[in-house]
Chains A and B, each alone.
Chain A
Amino acid sequence: MNRERAEKAQVPAWAFLLLLFYLPLAVVIGRALLAPAGRTALLSFLGSAQFRRVLGFTLWQSLLSAAGSLIVSLPGAYILGRYEFRGKRIMRSLLVLPFVLPGIVAVLAMVAAYGRNGLLNQALRRLFGPAAPQYTGLYGLGGIVLTHVFFNFALGIRLIGEAWERLDRRLLEAASSLGAGPFAAWRTVVLPLLRPAMAASFVLAFIYSSLSFTAVLVFGGWRFQTFEVLIYTRLHQDLDFTGAYAVAAVQLALAGMLLALNAWTARRRRRVGAAFALPAAEPLPRGWSRLPMSLYGLALLFFYLGPLAALLLRAWRERGAPDGALTGANFSALLAPGFRAGAGLEFWPILLGSLGLAAAVGCAVTVLAYFLASARGEAPHGLLDTAVELPLGASVVTVCFGLLILYGFLPSLALVFVAQVLMGLPIGYMILRTARADQGPEIMQAARSLGASPWRARLDVELPLLRRALLTAFAYAAAFSLGDITAVLTLGQGRVITLAVAVYRLMGHYRFAQALALGCILLLLSLGLFLAADRLGEQNRKGIDRRHVA
């Protein structure tokens, strides 16, 4: 009965995916590849040295970036998942912020922090004088990987941390009572149970890095290319549609293979804990055992907050320059009459519009992903999962172009909304299906056997248990929407202006300092949005706990 309902509930979600993703994509890529010229283009591309070079570089840098993100995120996930401490909520919300930054702002923030004249090198010079050692690795493979780690490790902390939180403490106690040392317990109990979340964050980091555009070009100095770069130049410079879509098809196939591989390796996934698990959270240890954690936290703070801090600091300087005098003028200029000339719209409508759009996209993704994930049930569904997650690997430019061809008659805002939901849906789905698989079906079965109607069981039992995952899905989808430039510029056609696009437009009109100020506001408001969402979730949980006690 419950399954039937769930299966019905997933129909609109599948209709959404089929009509708004697969159909446009089929029209664009299919049409290009069905023509003989398209097949020739595809085959000659697959046989070219350029293909081998781009593939080799893409796989190599994505592997380094994903591995780097995983390594940096594991200790953080441990702390977040194992311990309860003050500031945990703000930390969880801070971890979403890199996704809010449009690519160009993130790259400029990295330059401001780790560039030749960035915060790090300035600090080194101040400490050790002019002969101080300087970090010069930003311009090269190192900088590309560093930027991708900056973007992706936070996702790992959140995903793996949440799995750790759901981990049943009794399992570890059982392991140690059976004589397992801490290392053996970790290897035989914890690691296998965290593997789904680790795999999900690794695959996400890998695919996001493989799609990178601005960072690869700015820090690679045109020595390196990804498929995304090829699609862009073929589409925009060469006007070679067939060639561009042939590359898009290759990129999509690559992402599809990775996702399918991920699904296949997860066939025999073990559950992290049952729904009746005792959460593992405990207060932070005191004394010396706290030292490694503090050191890690400090290092992470510098690495992570460096670029964000550089952005914040320069927004308060004249011209946004490191040697400019302190001023609030960049912020007050956002409300001055000249703002519209650069950004295209006044400040307040842009602000409210972006937040509204982000919240709507976040809600839509959470709802769609929830129904898709709950209809999925327990059985392994490699093909199904890959089908929902595939938009992750699709070039945004290609999807937007397909949407424009098929649905160009729809209002711009609707098209932007659809494209942003498609961007957020795979990550939302991955988060929710991992969380649901961890939780297991027993509690829902118990609720149903106690006489709860399927919707009551969902509302009172499943949703509260999934609240962290639901909030994470919401936060990431909203962050994607806030940081997106491509879909808004391609589909909004000047009628939709978000904060990120306003930042981009201000830069195009020389107003870098104002752009930095607006970037800061974008960051702070997003933080507020995620904190509010988190808080709302907490309140729900308290309500549930009280009911359970009663």
Chain B
Amino acid sequence: MKKRRVFLLPIILSILAALAGCGGAKQLVVYTYSSFGQELIDLIQNDFAGRHGLSVEVRTFSDAGPLFNQLLHERKAPQADVVIGLDSIDLPRALEHDLFAPYKPKALAGVDQRFIFDRTHHLLPYDYGYVLFNYDSERLADPPQSHLDLLLPKYRGLIVVESPKTSSPGRIFLLTTIALYGEDGYLDYWRKLKPNLLTVTPGWDEAYGMYTNGEIPLVLSYGTSPVYHLLYDQTERYQALVLDNAAYAQIEAMGITKGARHRRAAQDLIEYILSVEFQEKIPTSQFMYPVVTGTPLPEAFRVAAKVDRLLHLDEAEVAAKLDGWLAAWERVMQE
């Protein structure tokens, strides 16, 4: 009998805690993913919250996928007010499930027009980065210059990429090959690339870990990756490659949930994230570019890759065809 009461105790306590929480100050709820920097979370929870006299609860999810699952699950009674950390590619499915309410922030006027991917303003960009190959200049004397160079036999077993089925840079690279070689040509490109791939990893961490561990000299990462090594390792040994002088941008996005309980405060947060004082913290926290033009970049960003030509596929086309492209890619990898 005694045991049963102990068993119930946590449940009763948590109900009491939940009830107590309801009576407190206004609490804005933010959902994000686990790579969203703690520095930025601290800014939101201290600086932003203090200014507006509210408290901010931040819940992190392991990745954009689980975050999306949670939003779908809560669709009828959303717990989150603001979601940070989706991808421009997520737009069609976000619209399809009607998860976000449109909001056109005043600060959008300062945002680089190239990255405003949603003209209906359901999802808003807050940073972007180029998905590019990086190489270890001390272990690879003659880096490739073009995507076709990657197919040369001298790079056999020296390359690691992430899977487009489980990783966002991997997905961007698949789109890169489709933008470059078309729907008819990309599978052929992958067939020829396959022998040069030491392996395909599920996430960026495994691939980049193998790269910095000296296992391979060429890895799919970001144009800003060298900045990290300059800032924290004081080395310019690791460099980004702008193959064919072109790159596809990964645009990270945020939005206000439909039916958010604190719409007003949510709008304030969106404006805050697009303010220069928040945007200038993004480069060293996320190693991504701020979307607000004129935001000062740290000196170390001189080693980030300069991209002349932006590759792009129409979001609606990507949404309609991505599943088919991924399935075809998987078949090629399993041939």
Q: Which residues of A contact B (CB under 8 A)?
A: 11-12, 15-16, 104, 107-108, 111-112, 115-118, 139, 213-214, 217-223, 232-233, 235-239, 241, 314, 318-323, 340-344, 401, 404-405, 409-411, 414, 485-486, 489-490, 493-495, 501, 504-505, 507-513
Quick check: A410 and B330 within 8 Å, CB to CB?
A: no
Q: Are B205 and A504 in touch, CB under 8 angstroms?
A: yes
Asked if residues B157 and A116 are in contact (CB atoms below 8 Å), the reply is yes
**Which of B41, B66, B209, B235 is within 8 Å of A108, CB to CB?**
B209
Q: Does B149 contact A (CB under 8 A)?
A: no
CA distance A221 to B202 in the complex (A): 9
Judge whether B225 is part of the interface by a CB distance below 8 angstroms. yes
Question: Measuring CB to CB, which residues of chain B are less than 8 angstroms from any residue of chain A?
Answer: 3-4, 7, 10-11, 14-15, 17-18, 32, 34-35, 37-39, 41, 58-63, 65-66, 68-70, 72-73, 93, 157, 163, 165-166, 197-206, 208-210, 212-216, 225, 228-229, 232-233, 235, 285, 287, 323, 326, 330, 333-334
Q: Which residue of A lies closest to B17 (CB)?
A: A411
How near does chain B come to A237, taking the closest CB pair, in angstroms? 6
Contact A490 B66 (CB under 8 A): yes
* B228: contacting residue among A15, A314, A495, A510, CB under 8 A: A510
Supposing A341-B37, A409-B15, A507-B205 touch, asked if A239 and B68 sit within 8 A by C-beta, the answer is yes
The complex places the Cα of A401 from the Cα of B68 at a distance, in Å, of 13
Whether B213 and A221, one on each chain, are in contact in the complex, defined by CB atoms closer than 8 angstroms, is: no
Would you call A117 and B214 a contact (CB within 8 A)?
yes
Contact present for B72 and A239 (CB under 8 Å): yes
Q: Are B166 and A239 in contact (CB under 8 A)?
A: no
Residue contact B199 to A139, C-beta cutoff 8 Å: yes
Query: CA of A409 to CA of B18 in the docked complex: distance in angstroms?
Result: 8
Residue pair B69, A401 in contact (C-beta under 8 Å): yes
List 5 other contacts, CB 8 Å, given A235-B65, A344-B41, A505-B34.
Answer: A108-B213, A116-B157, A238-B323, A241-B69, A411-B14
Is the beta-carbon distance between A342 and B210 smaller than 8 angstroms?
no
- Roughly how many angstroms separate A217 CA and B233 CA in the complex, as a whole number? 30
Contact between chains at A510 and B60 (CB < 8 Å): no
A213 touches which one: B198, B202, B214, B229 (CB < 8 A)?
B202
Per a CB cutoff under 8 Å, which of B4, B34, B165, B232 touches A489? B34
Given known A237-B165, A342-B38, contact A494–B212 (CB-CB < 8 A): no
In the docked arrangement, what's the CA distance between A278 and B310, Å?
Answer: 77
Q: Are B333 and A108 neighbours in the complex by a CB distance under 8 Å?
A: no
Q: Most chain-B Cβ atoms within 10 A of its Cβ — which of A318, A341, A510?
A: A510
Q: Is the CB of A214 within 8 A of B206?
A: yes
B330 & A507 in contact (Cβ 8 Å cutoff): no
Chain A residue contacts of B201, Cβ below 8 A: 217-218
Among residues of A, the one whose C-beta sits closest to the C-beta of B207 is A218
Query: Are A233 and B166 in contact (CB-based, < 8 A)?
Result: yes
Cβ 8 A contact of B213, one of A213, A238, A320, A486 = A320
CB distance from A108 to the nearest CB of B (A): 5
Closest partner residue, chain B, to A339 (CB atom)? B38
Give the docked Cα–Cα distance between A318 and B233 (Å): 8
A232-B166, A341-B37, A489-B62 as given contacts; A321 in contact with B7, CB under 8 Å: no
Q: Is the CB of B214 within 8 A of A322?
A: yes
